[in-house]
Amino acid sequence: MPKSSTPRRLHIGGQVKSEGWEVLDANPAPFVDHVCNANNLSRFADNTFAEIYASHVVEHFDYTGELGRVLKEWNRVLAPGGKIYISVPDLDILAGWLLAKDRMTANERFGVMRIIFGGHRDQYDYHLIGLNEEFLAEFLKHTGYVNARRVKEFGLFQDTSLQTYKGEPFSLNVVAEKPLPA
């Protein structure tokens, strides 16, 4: 069978089928192409994907080692020159809101706390790290990515990367690349 010339793109944690993207999720669903934990992409060869997209996923990995291993694993399956799009709840914004007792009620601040720690809807919906731009940039740098930069939005999906709370956006959206071979 001839190899496809269409670049493959992986949407980790995707919630809808989207043209040109393969969806990977830990929970089976009709729109999911690959059911597995995003911490193990051993089913894919090195340099498989031109792009990887993960919105509100990396905060679910333990910062004491798992997150670094996951980002390295994603780097392994990303083609040289490929882009990774990562969105996380921005801890700087959320911490400010949590402390804004003059602007938010206790109930509203409890909603912020749920964003920080996850919704606890299933076994995967727990946040194990809080990330801001500085922390995420360091994790990306130490796992082999280059040119990490914050963007307002990716323009790829209508998802949690655009989510707001009380009308204000709270996602940190970062694009980085796998370097080309020297």
Cα dist. 81→1, 11, 146, 162 in Å? Answer: 26, 18, 10, 26
Q: Six-digit token pair at 179?
A: 């370097």
The continuous run of DSSP H or E covering 91 comes out as: helix 91-98
Q: Check if the beta carbon of residue 136 is closer than 8 Å to that of residue 88.
A: yes
Q: How many CB atoms lie within 10 A of CB 158?
A: 9
SS3 of 29-52: the string is CCCCCEECCCCCCCCCCCCCEEEE
Kindly state the average pLDDT of the residues 92-102. Answer: 96
Is pLDDT above 60 for 3?
A: no
Q: Check if the beta carbon of residue 122 is closer than 8 Å to that of residue 27.
A: yes
Mean pLDDT (the chain, rounded)? 95
Region of residue 56 (left: phi > 0; alpha: psi -120 to 50; beta: else):
left
Share of the chain above pLDDT 70, in %: 98
Q: Check if the beta carbon of residue 145 is closer than 8 Å to that of residue 52.
A: no
CATH code of 8-89+122-161+171-177, in short, is 3.40.50.150
3-state secondary structure of 88: strand
Which pLDDT value is given to residue 19? 94
Q: Check if the beta carbon of residue 67 is closer than 8 Å to that of residue 139.
A: yes
Distance of CA 141 to the CA centre of its chain: 16
Which amino acid, one-letter code, is at 88? V
Please write the tens of the pLDDT for every residue from 111-126.
Answer: 999 999 998 988 888 9
38-57 exposure pattern, b = at least 16 Cβ within 10 A, e = fewer: beebeebeeebbbbbbbbbb
Is pLDDT above 80 for 1?
A: no
Please write the tens of the pLDDT for every residue from 58-72.
Answer: 999 999 999 999 999
Please write the tens of the pLDDT for every residue from 32-84.
Answer: 999 999 999 999 999 999 999 999 999 999 999 999 999 999 999 999 999 99
Residue 135 pLDDT grade (very low, low, confident, very high; cuts 50, 70, 90): very high
Question: Which residues contact residue 18 at a Cβ distance below 8 angstroms, ignoring those fewer than 6 apart?
Answer: 11, 157
- Cα–Cα distance, 28 to 122 (Å, whole number): 13
Is pLDDT above 80 for 23?
A: yes
Q: Check if the beta carbon of residue 101 is closer than 8 Å to that of residue 108.
A: no
Domain boundaries, the chain: 8-89+122-161+171-177
